Chain A
Amino acid sequence: MGLDHARGGEAALEAVKPAPFEYHAPRTVEEAVTLLAEVAPRDGRVLAGGQSLVPAMALRLARPAHLVDINAVSGLDRLRVEAGDLVIGACVRHAAFDRPAAGGPLGTLLAQVARHIAHWPVRTRGTFCGSIANADPASEWCLLAATLDATMVARSVRGARAIAAAGFFHGAMATALAADELLVEVRVPLLAADARCGFSEFSRRAGDFAIAMALATYRLENGVMTDARVGIGAVESAPRRVGEAEAALNGKRPGEDAFRDAAAAVARAAAPVGDIRYPAGYRRDVAAAMAQRALEGTVP
């Protein structure tokens, strides 16, 4: 590195890492989707924060022929509360959630979750919607969207459509989005003022992709839990709610017994994928432990 820099000048300029591509910088959503309709069939991709796409391009694993950079598209960086939802525009960075972005428990939860996403420099560039569209199995935002039943709004030349989280994540890095669709915003329902929530994630080093993570929320009615949601991420090929664990909580008093039952339900229901480092059985154990810790984190 040092020597290359010392030689500097033209040699350094020639050392371009990605394969050649054509760069487009639309100014409006209409321009962006028109461009996408044209270039998507020829492996044209959306560039938002670029924290997954650009490293893959630098390694020449990804060789998109066209990049549609949406960073200059007006209005996509907006973060607003509308009709009971926190509406997150396509260019809102992870760092926007570092301090509560919404009132009530949702803002606090988002801030707690955001701290687990990679590292600060990545969080200042990477976007919430980019994580959702990329649909990495270990994405914190995908787990949040799946657990809280967020709605994804996609635009294309064919118009706009809203996709519920339950039908959005098809598998590892696979979503309901068509190649020419732009995820313009994600709508996350605000949590009730009395909602309790907890999140827990395990990775060997801070900022690494999680081995397993869990998110839990519920409300209290006459001292017992209601409207319980338990989601797991990084365990299966896509994040999802675990109905069996939710059933183990609803109608029970929050506490060690109910939380242990819910964690056991996660262990039974999960169908973890194993890999060379973490066998499926290990991931299952960690998933159950994360569910229990997320639930323990709900108790003030």
Chain B
Amino acid sequence: MEFDNTLEVPLPPAEAWRVLLDIRRIAACIPGAELTEVVDERTYKGKVAVRIGPVALSLVGQARLEEVDDAGHQAQVRAHGADPKGRGSTDSVIRFRLEPAGDATRVLIHADVKLAGSIAQYGRGAGMIQSVASQLIAQFGETLKSRLAESASGGEEKPAAGAAQPIPGLTVLGKAAWDSITRGAEKPPSKP
């Protein structure tokens, strides 16, 4: 299924672009996401916990940044995830494009999500997946916005990548993700 979404980032496009490509920072803002391994500067392993009503899924897999166009501020992420309990898997291609919106940036997101296995039959199809996706994106946008605000009020010049302490007000999942990133900090830092 294909669907579109938008997101506002309170930064000019050039800065927003840098923040959005800082995958370790971004992963910590995705609700339920946990980055487990940085394979190389474009490939990341992790898991995402998604809850659709009574069904709590954990999708484990890999995401790869592709077709990064620094000048045009667009990129795509190809992701594969599978449920360790065998309830299904997903293959997704998500395209991002940034465009200026006043002083801020609008992120245009186009997702092509393929689901397989019994999760594909659950929830009567595409509508529910789209709803979950737009909630995830909205929550991600809120978290990112409050992180950026905190970085700004913290007197740092620009949003610092990987500030090594959890920020108050995170959800349990967000905190877990953040912890996993700070724990993973022994790995060679990889900034795109």
Residue of B55, B118, B122, B130 contacting most chain A CB atoms (<10 Å) = B55
Q: How far is the CB of A55 from chain B (nearest CB, A)?
A: 9
Structural contact, B134 and A275, CB atoms closer than 8 A: no
Structural contact, B125 and A277, CB atoms closer than 8 A: yes
A135's contact among B53, B85, B119, B172, by CB below 8 Å, is which?
Answer: B53
Structural contact, A171 and B53, CB atoms closer than 8 A: no
Structural contact, B87 and A273, CB atoms closer than 8 A: no
How many of chain B's residues touch chain A, expressed as a range?
20 to 34
Structural contact, A61 and B126, CB atoms closer than 8 A: no
> If the complex has contacts A59-B118, A61-B87, are A274 and B53 also in contact, measured as CB distance less than 8 A?
no
Query: In whole angstroms, how far apart are the Cα atoms of A158 and B119 in the complex?
Result: 34
The chain B residue sitting closest to A277, CB to CB, is B125
Query: In whole angstroms, how far apart are the Cα atoms of A43 and B51 in the complex?
Result: 10
Structural contact, A172 and B127, CB atoms closer than 8 A: yes
Query: In whole angstroms, how far apart are the Cα atoms of A16 and B63 in the complex?
Result: 37
Q: How far is the CB of B176 from chain A (nearest CB, A)?
A: 11
Residue-by-residue, is A37-73 near B (CB-CB < 8 Å gives 1, otherwise 0)?
0000101010000001100110111111000000000
List 10 A–B pairs whose Cβ atoms lie within 8 Å, in order of A's numbering: A64-B56, A137-B127, A138-B124, A171-B132, A171-B134, A172-B123, A172-B132, A237-B128, A274-B127, A275-B126
- A134 located at the interface, meaning its Cβ lies under 8 Å from any Cβ of chain B in the complex: yes
Residues of B at the A interface (CB closer than 8 Å) are: 52-56, 85, 87, 118-119, 122-128, 130-132, 134-135, 172
The chain A residue sitting closest to B135, CB to CB, is A171
Residues from chain B with a CB closer than 8 A to the CB of A61 are 54-55, 87, 118-119, 122
Structural contact, A276 and B130, CB atoms closer than 8 A: no
Residues from chain A with a CB closer than 8 A to the CB of B172 are 41
The chain A residue sitting closest to B128, CB to CB, is A172
Residue-by-residue, is A136-171 near B (CB-CB < 8 Å gives 1, otherwise 0)?
111000000000000000000000000000000011
Q: How far is the CB of A52 from chain B (nearest CB, A)?
A: 6
The chain B residue sitting closest to A55, CB to CB, is B54
B131's contact among A43, A60, A273, by CB below 8 Å, is which?
Answer: A273
Q: How far is the CB of A272 from chain B (nearest CB, A)?
A: 9
Residue of B118, B127, B128, B172 contacting most chain A CB atoms (<10 Å) = B127
Query: In whole angstroms, how far apart are the Cα atoms of A62 and B134 in the complex?
Result: 22
B126's contact among A135, A174, A276, by CB below 8 Å, is which?
Answer: A276
Residues from chain B with a CB closer than 8 A to the CB of A41 are 172
- A173 located at the interface, meaning its Cβ lies under 8 Å from any Cβ of chain B in the complex: yes
Structural contact, B54 and A52, CB atoms closer than 8 A: yes
Q: How far is the CB of B136 from chain A (nearest CB, A)?
A: 10
Residue of B54, B118, B126, B131 contacting most chain A CB atoms (<10 Å) = B54
